[in-house]
Amino acid sequence: MNKHFAGKLAIQQRVLPPYRAGFFDLLAAACDGGLSVFAGNPRPGEAIPRGELHAARFAPARNLHLLGGPVYFCWQAGLPDWLADWDPDALVVEANPRYLSTPAALEWMKQRGRSVVGWGLGAPALSGPLAGLRRSRRLAFVRQFDALITYSRRGADEYAALGFTADRIFVAPNAAVPRPVVSPPARPPAFEGRPVVLFVGRLLRRKRLDDLLIACAALPGELQPRLVIVGEGPEERDLKDLAGQIYPRAEFPGAKHGPELAPYFAAADLFVLPGTGGLAAQEAMSYGLPVIMGRGDGTNDDLVRPSTRTSPGNGWQLAEEGATTLAETLRLALASAPRLRKMGALSYHIVREEINLQKMAAVFVGVLNGLRK
């Protein structure tokens, strides 16, 4: 299998978050002609910093954000000029019909007989009085692509159910960390004092950290963990106030980045993200930690493996939101340190062998090369 794409690649993104920069740099190294990323600024209030590219090139878009909520649309000015300047052999775009400038980019590529790949979460089932019309428009949009790359098996199944040709759908698991090159830290078979439960990420409402505080407070005294919440964000003040009222054992060391995070992951026994988002779970898994996560866009389906008759699994996906379900899951998780250690070993195996930046880049290169045959 050819590990390089013998051409110039262009990738369109609405924004360029820091967790994507490493992937784009890695993919750029696999493109003989180089890689250019076209992205703009987020909406006010999104608080998404721009990632810094090194091997890949950055081309700034002028994002015009239209309306909001369920009727949000984005127009990216400068897209045709970027394509004309970079002159790519292949283009990867976000498979999102809400980006109104994308069809013109697809037409530009098609007129020159070049490949266009859509990259997206999937196509969840629609409901409501206009569901049929919306489904038809969605299908017409994705049929413009030569192939689709999605984050998860769930996303692939959704695109196939929509009507896109199944053998042109590929799964590149949504990775945020490179393949680990060192073994995870050794942890004793029993907890040393109280177990340590860790969260790392932005302190946002959708992370449901209030549920985590309430759930820890609801545990029996002997199971109540040392809870470490690493990060900062708009919910920080409210969370500290809630912790002071119901769980003063919680610690808030603030935002940490890069090497600063290593001692927190190494000292933890369990990583918990009750809500959505949070690719920090993959970094936790690279340190040999089991995970508890909320249900998300399908990415978590591949990350979190339930227990079976032959395997302890590596964590739990919460069946429903709320502190009650989370407390029950924490009670089960913290009841056995030896089981957590076995689960953490599987977490490490998953990010080393299956879900990492190298594997993700290899899928992209394979798809691009397959389209050139």
- Kindly report, residue by residue over 323-345, the tens digit of the pLDDT: 999 999 999 999 999 999 999 99
The DSSP bridge partners found for residue 74 are: 65, 99
Q: Cβ distance 195 to 228 under 8 Å?
A: no
Q: Is residue 138 located within the same domain as residue 264?
A: no
- Same domain? 24 vs 67: yes
Q: By residue range, what is the domain housing residue 66?
A: 9-175+356-372
Number of domains within the chain:
2
Q: Within this chain, do residues 347 and 364 fall inside the same structural domain, yes or no?
A: no
pLDDT band with cut points at 50, 70 and 90 for residue 309:
confident
**Do 268 and 130 reside in the same domain of the chain?**
no
Closest CA to 230 of 204, 257, 199, 259: 199
Contacts 24+ apart (CB under 8 A), 187-190: 187/269, 187/288, 187/341, 187/344, 188/337, 189/337, 189/338, 189/341, 190/337, 190/338
Task: Based on the fold, state whether residues 202 and 158 are members of the same structural domain.
Answer: no
The predicted pLDDT at position 257 comes to 87
Q: Are residues 76 and 156 in the same domain?
A: yes
Q: Give domain status of residue 49, yes or no.
A: yes
pLDDT of 124 reads 84
What are the CA-CA distances from residue 295 to residues 229, 256, 270, 276 (Å)?
20, 25, 17, 7
Q: What is the pTM of this model?
A: 0.90
Please check the confidence at residue 130 and state whether its pLDDT lies above 90.
no
CATH code of the domain covering residue 35: 3.40.50.2000
pLDDT of residue 297: 64
Structural domain contains residue 70: yes
Is residue 124 in a domain?
yes
Q: State the pLDDT at residue 295.
A: 80
Residues 365 and 344 in one domain: no
Q: Are residues 149 and 236 in the same domain?
A: no
| pLDDT higher than threshold 90 for residue 99 | yes
Q: Is residue 182 a part of any domain in this protein?
A: no
Distance CA 170, CA 155 (A): 10
Same domain assignment for residues 159 and 105: yes
pLDDT in tens, 148-185: 999 999 999 999 999 999 999 999 999 989 999 999 99
What pLDDT, in 10s, does the model give residues 187-244?
999 999 999 999 999 899 999 999 999 999 999 999 999 999 999 999 999 999 999 9
Q: 336 and 231, same structural domain?
A: yes
Residues 301 and 328 in one domain: yes
Q: What percent of the chain has pLDDT over 90?
A: 82
The answer on 335 and 363 residing in a single domain is no
Q: At CB < 8 A and 24+ separation, what contacts does 103-108 make?
A: 103/144, 104/79, 104/80, 105/12, 105/79, 105/80, 106/144, 106/145, 108/80, 108/83, 108/84
pLDDT of 278 > 70? The answer is: no
